[in-house]
Copies of this chain bind each other. A is one copy, B any other.
Amino acid sequence: MAKVELITIGDEILVGKTQDTNARHIAVKLGEAGLTLDRITTIADDAETLKSELDAALERSDGVISTGGLGATSDDLTRPTLAEYFGGKLVVHRPTYERISAFLAQRGRKPEGDILKMAEIPDVCEAINNDAGAAPGMIFRPKPGKIFIALPGYPPEMKYLLEKGAIPALVRTLQPARVRHVVFRTAGVPESSMAERLRDFEKTLPKNIRLAYNPSLRSLDLRLWARFSDGESEAVFDEACERMRSALGDDLFGYGEETLAQSVGKMLLSRGLRLATAESCTGGAVAAEIVSVAGASDYFLGGITAYSNAAKVEFLGVKPETLEAWGAVSEETAVEMALGAQSRFGAEVAVATSGVVGPGGGSAAKPVGTVCIAVASPVRVFAKSFRFENDRGRNIERTLTAALNLVRKELLAYDGTRG
């Protein structure tokens, strides 16, 4: 199998100023193309280091990608170093020169200054035109079967050039096996229970199909991934996906990068329903997550963050007797909060959160991590209690996810697809 490695050039990563997010993106995109990253090396923006790293990388691997070091500032030495290393000289890349000149002209400036350095590329490479910025990508072919591709480090430009030129060039040169993959996103089921549920399914998978778990506070993602040899049919993968869907049932909320808030939004829209929120412990995080989706105004009316008991009574009509008898963190209070938001906003659906997220406020009966969530739909209202953990930030995230997931499941039921 072809070996691919990544060289990240950047002092800002070595001193911890910048979090390198490029490496993960490249790893994922290579995987989708059937290639695997064998090594990632981060080095300083220094000519000698880069040259010796190129020696080692091109010896070890068939394909090498570098990111960074292609800016216009004086400490970006990558461009001249690559020209020297691959035995060429820097020449002006016309399309880039013209794009930069047009950019400067728009701002009433002449085509001059360090920025034009970005139009210079070694005459021994093939350029990948950078319509997302300035510096082009550069493809070098030092010997048959070996390929080196230099990309800028700024993530939007790197991503653009990777997709447009780097991955296609790597695939043409290294000819990886066909692959396919699907990410199934679920919520509400712990990883261990999910593993239990999928144990038999996983055993039936042929060797070329793999299942991976990726748990986070927002979802449990299941990635089904297959590699096919020449002529091998993909039907078995389609069938495995179909069996995954059945096994996941209504715990599956989406595919790929779809979020729970997007999934809930689509369901509200298709059913012609509008949502309101009543939040205590999440403090507005549920509403903010819903609003993070473009077009949320079509189905979201608004919400109340009722952090104090007085606000719960005043804005949501929670009865003082309920607060007295059951406390603010109770299913009874959560139900009244949801009903209050539903009627006061005139919404068909409402969700309410109340909990002890910590670090203070816990008691023997209601320790830190105790959370009650209620959902009111056109046909009923119900509440559910959770016992999360001991970390404020994680408890808020988990409550947010659980709240959106309860709304989602209720919308499924309301549609008549369940029970």
Contact = CB atoms under 8 A, between A and B. Distances in A.
A351 to B, nearest CB: 12
Contact of A14 (B16, B36, B284, B308): B36
A21 interface: yes
Contacts of A37: 14-16
A301 B308 contact: yes
Nearest to A46: B38
Contact of A297 (B8, B285, B308): B308
A305 B284 contact: yes
Contacts of A346: 310
A115 interface: no
A212 B308 contact: no
Interface centre among A19, A23, A26, A284 (most CB of B within 10 A): A284
A392 interface: yes
A34 to B, nearest CB: 12
Interface string A258-302: 000000000000000000010101111111101110111100111
B31 A16 contact: yes
B302 A304 contact: yes
B20 A23 contact: yes
- The number of chain A residues touching the other chain, given as a range, is 35 or more
Central interface residue in A19, A39, A291, by most chain B CB within 10 Å: A291
A373 interface: no
B300 A307 contact: yes
Secondary structure of the A contact surface, majority rule: mixed
Contacts of A31: 15-16
A220 to B, nearest CB: 13
Interface in A219-276: none
A305 B307 contact: no
29 contacts: A14-B38, A15-B37, A16-B24, A16-B26, A17-B212, A17-B214, A18-B24, A20-B20, A20-B23, A39-B44, A41-B41, A277-B284, A283-B287, A283-B288, A283-B291, A283-B296, A284-B288, A284-B291, A284-B305, A285-B291, A287-B305, A288-B396, A294-B358, A294-B392, A301-B311, A303-B304, A304-B315, A314-B344, A315-B344
A13 interface: yes
B297 A307 contact: yes
A306 interface: yes
A305 B305 contact: yes
A40 interface: yes
A359 B295 CA distance: 8
Interface in A191-218: 212, 214
Interface in A1-49: 8, 13-21, 23-28, 30-31, 36-44
A41 to B, nearest CB: 5
Most buried by B among A16, A212, A296: A16
Given A13-B27, A16-B37, A294-B358, 8 more contacts: A40-B41, A277-B284, A279-B284, A283-B296, A292-B396, A296-B307, A302-B305, A311-B345
A393 interface: yes
A108 interface: no
A113 interface: no
A8 B21 CA distance: 15
A416 interface: no
Contact of A305 (B13, B25, B27, B303): B303
A144 interface: no
A360 interface: yes
Contacts of A38: 14, 43-44
A307 B302 contact: yes
B287 A302 contact: no
A337 to B, nearest CB: 12
Given A31-B15, A286-B284, A306 B302 contact: yes
A21 B19 contact: yes
Nearest to A396: B292
A397 B286 CA distance: 16
